[in-house]
Amino acid sequence: MEILDKVYLAEPVDPYYKKRRENSIIIGISCMPDEYCFCKSLGTDFAMHGFDLFLHELPDGWLVRVGSVRGHEIAWENEELFEELTEEDVKNFREFEEKRANSFKKHLNKKGLEDILDLAYNSPVWKKYEKICLGYGNCNMVCPTCRCYEVCDLWMNAYEAVRVRRYDSCFMESHGLVAGGHNFRPTRLDRFRHRYYCKSYFDPSAGFNCVGCGRCDEFCPARIEHVKVLDEVREGLQ
C-alpha cells in the first residue's frame, strides 16, 4: 500500500486514487505464513506504519495496535469492545509472533540482489523461463504492487461513452506496443525479465517493489516460483 501511495500520491497527485485512499480505513490482521510467503525476507512481515488498526490473534480475543488518529477514534468510539491489556496477553502475543517468525518456508536472499540482476541481463535463466512461462499475466493480477493500468473509452449506448481505467499486465503483448506497430518488448523473454526487474527494483527510500506475499507463485499456472527464479539467476552468475 505504501508502495502504491508513493506512485499515485507523488506530484502530480492522482485525484481518483487520493479520494479512495482518504475514504478508506486500513485494518491489518496478522496471519500465519502459507507455503508461498517469503515476506520476512523482505522485511514486510511486521507492519510498523501505514495502518489505522492492526489485529493480532490471541487465544481469547485480539490484541489491537492503533496506528493513526483515525484508528484511535474508532477504538474510542467503541470502547465497550476493548479491555485492558494483561500480562498474559503480551505473553501470548510474543509466543504467536515467535511461532510465526519460525514458520516461513521460503527465504529470498536479497543481498546485492539489484546489482546481481542487473549484471545477469543476458542470463540463460531468463531464456529457460521464457519457455516455461505461459504469459497469462496471473502474477500481475494478484500482485499487490502491480499497478499498470490501461485507459479505454467504452460506449454505453449510441450517444454516451465513459472513459475507464482497467488493470493492464506487462505480460500482454500490447503493453509495450506503440502506434505504427513497433513493440518495445517484443518477446516473452523481454516481458518476463521486465516483470522481475520491475519487482526487484530497489528504491533506496522505500525498498523493493516486491512485498514477498508469494501470491504470484500460488496463482501461476506454470508453477514458476519467484524466489526460485531469482536464486537461479544468482547462481547463474557464480
Partner 1 sequence: MTFQTHDARILEVKELTSREKLFTLRFVDPEINRSFKYKPGQFVIVDIRGFGEFPISLCSTPTREGYFQLCVRRVGRMTKYMHTLKEGDVIGIRGPYGNGFPMEKMEGSTLILVAGGLGMAPLRSVLWYALDTGKYEKIYLFYGTKAYEDILFRDEVIHLLKHGEDMNCHVKLAYEVESPSCIYLEKGYSPRVCKGVVTDLFRGETFDVENTYALICGPPVMYKYIIKELLDRKLSPGRIYMTLERRMRCGVGKCGHCIVGTSTSIKYVCKDGPVFTYWDALSTRGLI
Identified binder of partner 1 from the candidate list 62, 93, 136, 197, rule CB under 8 A: 197
For 189, phi then psi, to 5°, come to: -60, -45
CB 35 within 8 A of CB 105: yes
* CB of residue 48 to partner 1, shortest distance in Å: 25
Q: Give the helix/strand (H/E) hosting 29.
A: strand 27-29
* CB of residue 179 to partner 1, shortest distance in Å: 5
* CB of residue 3 to partner 1, shortest distance in Å: 12
The answer to whether residue 228 forms part of the interface with partner 1 (CB under 8 A) is: no
Identified binder of partner 1 from the candidate list 44, 123, 138, 200, rule CB under 8 A: 200
Identified binder of partner 1 from the candidate list 56, 100, 106, 175, rule CB under 8 A: 175
For 18, phi then psi, to 5°, come to: -60, -45
- Distance in angstroms (rounded) separating the CA atoms of residues 145 and 206: 13
How many CB atoms neighbour CB 151 within 10 A? 9
The answer to whether residue 114 forms part of the interface with partner 1 (CB under 8 A) is: yes
- Distance in angstroms (rounded) separating the CA atoms of residues 21 and 50: 12
The answer to whether residue 235 forms part of the interface with partner 1 (CB under 8 A) is: no
For 165, phi then psi, to 5°, come to: -105, 140
Q: Which three cell numbers stand for residue 54?
A: 492492526
The answer to whether residue 111 forms part of the interface with partner 1 (CB under 8 A) is: no
Residues near partner 1, by CB under 8 A: 7-8, 10, 12-15, 113-115, 117-118, 121, 147-153, 155, 161, 163, 168, 170, 174-182, 184, 194, 196-198, 200-202
